[in-house]
Structures are given as structure tokens and as C-alpha cells.
Amino acid sequence: MSGDLVRPFAAGIDGASGGVDPAGVVSERRLSDLRGLFRDAAALERAVGEGDEVVYRVVAAPVPEVEGEVPFSVTTIEAGRVGDEFYMTRGHAHPEPQGEVYFGLSGRGVLLMYDGEEVRWVEIRPGVAGYIPPGWAHRTANVGGEPFRFLAVYPGSAGHDYAIVAEGGMGARVVRSAAGYEVVEEPGGAGPAVREYYRRRKKRG
Ligand SMILES: [Fe+2]
């Protein structure tokens, strides 16, 4: 354990701006930070050259990521696409087998989850909570025409493994379709090492 526990406090959550008050760490990801994640690499490079805009921003409450604490943050994903694929987060798995809750604040998004074998997804709108069980990687995409914002609440000891998603993918992509969007599973699936990574994280103790 590191440091003292946080004192009780209340934070303002602004669903219209994505603000958290008081705020802790704020992080931004631009198109150039998402290289290797979108299917259409040429379209991504064109968009990087045309201004490299911010794809998403995460504003965290001032709660440390340590065991026992329950950090929370608001993510804003801008509206846009790279080729046919909607703007999305990098995606990660929790190295420790811990769950997480996402709660929709504004706009419309898809919460995509992957356990190395199976793909599951749920649509998140204002007033809808999505549950991510332990052992499932997760990524969100904005499938609407305005910013998509959600509150995330997670155990402080969960950690973030971005590399497993960069290497093993999410098993599916969220793309434009005649109906608005669809979640298209990728053929082939992950290799045995990726499947084993997730299997280990679904077991407790
Ligand atoms: Fe997470």
C-alpha cells in the first residue's frame, strides 16, 4: 500500500462538457496516439496529416490508483471515423482480474468487450450502465454524431494493460453501416497466448 487514503469528498460530473470538479489527472489521445489500432492505416495517416485531432480525453477524479480506492473518471470521445471505423479508445485489459462499471452521460457509444475468444458489446446511452466483468478487455467507440461521454468507476488495483489489445485486438470492430453502425467480428481470432492471458484473468485467487 502506498500513501494515505483519500478524505471523503463530492465531485461535480458535467455530462455536457465532460468535466470533473475537482479533477485529477487529465489525459488526451490524438489520432497519432492510436496508430496500429484502426484497420485503415492509410486513412489514419491522412487524418494525422490533416491536423491530428484529439480523439478522446479522460478527466479523472483525484483518487489514486491503489488497492482499496475506487477511482473514477469521465471519458469524452469525439464524433468521427477513420475510414469506416468509429473513433474509439485504445482499449485495455486489467492485469488484475477486476471488474468495472461504465455509465452513459451524453451521446451514444458502444462498449466492446473481448475475452480472447468471445466478443460481447452493449450500447451505452445516458442513463445506461455497462458492466465489464473481470477478464474482459474493453474499448468504447462513439457511434453517434455528437461527443460520447461516460463515467467509469473501477478498482484502484485493476491496472491497465494496453499492449494486450494492441497485440491481440478486440475480436471485432465498430464500423459504419446502413443502419448507423454494426459490430463486425474479425475472422481468425486471437492466438493461444492471448487466449491464455484472458483465461488466467477470469480465475479468482
Ligand atoms: Fe478498465
Decide if 141 is inside a domain.
yes
SS3 helix, strand, coil % of the chain, rounded to 5?
A: 15, 40, 45
Give strand ranges (E) for the chain. Answer: 12-14, 19-21, 26-30, 54-60, 72-77, 81-82, 85-86, 100-106, 109-114, 119-124, 129-132, 137-142, 148-153, 172-177, 180-185
Asked if residue 92 lies in contact with residue 161, where contact means CB atoms within 8 angstroms, the answer is yes
Domain membership of residue 5 (yes or no) is: no
Q: Is residue 2 part of a domain?
A: no
Q: What pLDDT is attached to residue 3? A: 63
Cα dihedral 136/184/102/54 (nearest 10): 110
Q: What is the enclosing helix (H) or strand (E) of 163?
A: helix 163-168
Nearest by Cα to 173 from 187, 152, 194, 192:
187
Output the CA 47–ligand 1 centroid distance in Å: 27
pLDDT at 1: 47
CA 37 to ligand 1 centroid distance, Å: 17
Query: For position 30, which CATH number holds?
Result: 2.60.120.10
Measured in Å, residue 163 CA sits from the centre of ligand 1 at 13
State the distance from the centre of ligand 1 to the C-alpha of 4, rounded, in angstroms: 23
Q: Is residue 4 part of a domain?
A: no
Domain annotation covers residue 182: yes
Q: pLDDT of the chain along its 205 residues, tens only?
A: 456 789 999 999 999 999 999 999 999 999 999 999 999 999 999 999 999 999 999 999 999 999 999 999 999 999 999 999 999 999 999 999 999 999 999 999 999 999 999 999 999 999 999 999 999 999 999 999 999 999 999 999 999 999 999 999 999 999 999 999 999 999 877 889 999 999 999 876 5
Centroid of ligand 1 to alpha carbon of 166 (angstroms): 15
What is the total count of domains within the chain? 1
Q: Which residue has the cell 480523439?
A: 55
Q: How far is the CA of 162 from the centre of ligand 1 (A)?
A: 10
| Sheet with 81-82, edge to edge strand ranges | 81-82, 85-86, 172-177, 180-185
Cα(49) to ligand 1 centroid in Å equals: 30
Ligand 1 center–CA 92 separation, angstroms: 6
- Residue 194 is inside which H or E element, if any? helix 192-201
**Nearest CA-CA partner of 174 in 131, 195, 129, 144:** 144
CA of 154 to the centre of ligand 1 (A): 7
Domain range enclosing 88: 12-201
Residue at 1 is within a domain: no
Distance between Cα 152 and ligand 1 center (Å) = 8
CA of 42 to the centre of ligand 1 (A): 29
Residue 17 lies in a domain: yes
Residue 184 lies in a domain: yes
